[in-house]
Structure 1
Amino acid sequence: MLDNLTPIKTPSLKNQRIAVLLPCRNEGLTIAQVVAGFQAALPEAKIYVYDNRSTDNTAEQAAAAGAIVRYERIPGKGNVVRRMFADIEADIYVMADGDNTYEAPAVRRLIQFLLAQRLDMVVGARRETGKDSEAYRPGHR
C-alpha cells in the first residue's frame, strides 16, 4: 500500500499530458464534486466526463464544474471506455467513476508511484470503512 511508502521523488507532472476519464450515467448528484476533487488534486490534468445516455443533469453539472463533456450513445460502460481511449491522447490516464466513491486526493501519489517505479499501470481500490461499506455493491468486492 502507498500509506507505508516514504515520499516519492519524481519529475514534475507539468510536462505530462494527464487525462482524467470519468464514464458516467445518471451521476448528476455527485459529478460536480468528483470533477472538483480531481481539479484540486491534479490541476494540470484535463478532466473528461463521458455521459452514457443519462436521463438526469449529469452533463450539465459536469460542464458547470469545468469538465470537458462528451457523449457515448451506445449503452454500456464497456462502450464508453472504448470510446474514451479511442478519443483521448495522453501520457497518463486516470479512470474513476462519477459516483464520488474514489479518493481523488490519492491520485497524485498513485501517479508519482507509477512514474518513480517506471510502471505501466497502477490500480487503486476503494477503502472499506466497515461491514456495511457503501464503497462496493454486493457481489462486486
Structure 2
Amino acid sequence: MKRLAHLHLIAAGLVAAAPAVAQQATHLRDLDAANRATLSKDELQQLLPGATISRVTNRGNRNIWKNEPGGGFVASSDNRDRGSTMPSTARGQWSISDDGRYCVRIEWRSVEPEDWCRFIVRSGDAYYGTRSDQNPDERVYRLDITK
C-alpha cells in the first residue's frame, strides 16, 4: 500500500512538472565553463543509493525513479510523446560499473527495455550523463539527482 501511494505521488508530480518540449542536448565541452568533473566510483557510491533521478528524454518524456539501496527501482514516465495524460511505470535495476559508470536497465512494457551505462559529470550544481568523459564532442544529458 505504501508503494502504491508513493507511485501516485510520483505520477502526480510527473504530470505537474513535465515540460512541453524535450531537453536540448549539449556537448561535454559546453560544461567546461562551470568546472566540470567526472564523479568517481566512490563518489557515485555515496550519491546514488537512495537518490531520486529525474530526466527528460529525447522524446520529451519526463522519467523519474528512486534508487533503492538493493539496486532496484520503479520508474515512472509521463508518456508525453504519445499525447497521453496517463503515466506508466516499469521496474528497473541500477548499478555502478567497475569503471565508475552509472548503469540502468528499465523494463518498459510497451517498448524495448532501456539499457545504458553513463559517466556522471557534475558541472556547477547540475549532473549530466555521458558515454565518454574524454571526448569534448560527446553529447551530455541532464540528470536531476536529489537525495
Structure 1 length as normaliser, TM-score?
Answer: 0.25
Q: Relative contact order: is structure 1 or structure 2 higher (C-alpha 8 Å, sep ≥ 6)? A: 1
Q: Between Structure 1 and Structure 2, which shows a larger proportion of helix residues? A: 1
TM-score by length of 2: 0.24
Q: Which has the higher strand share?
A: 2
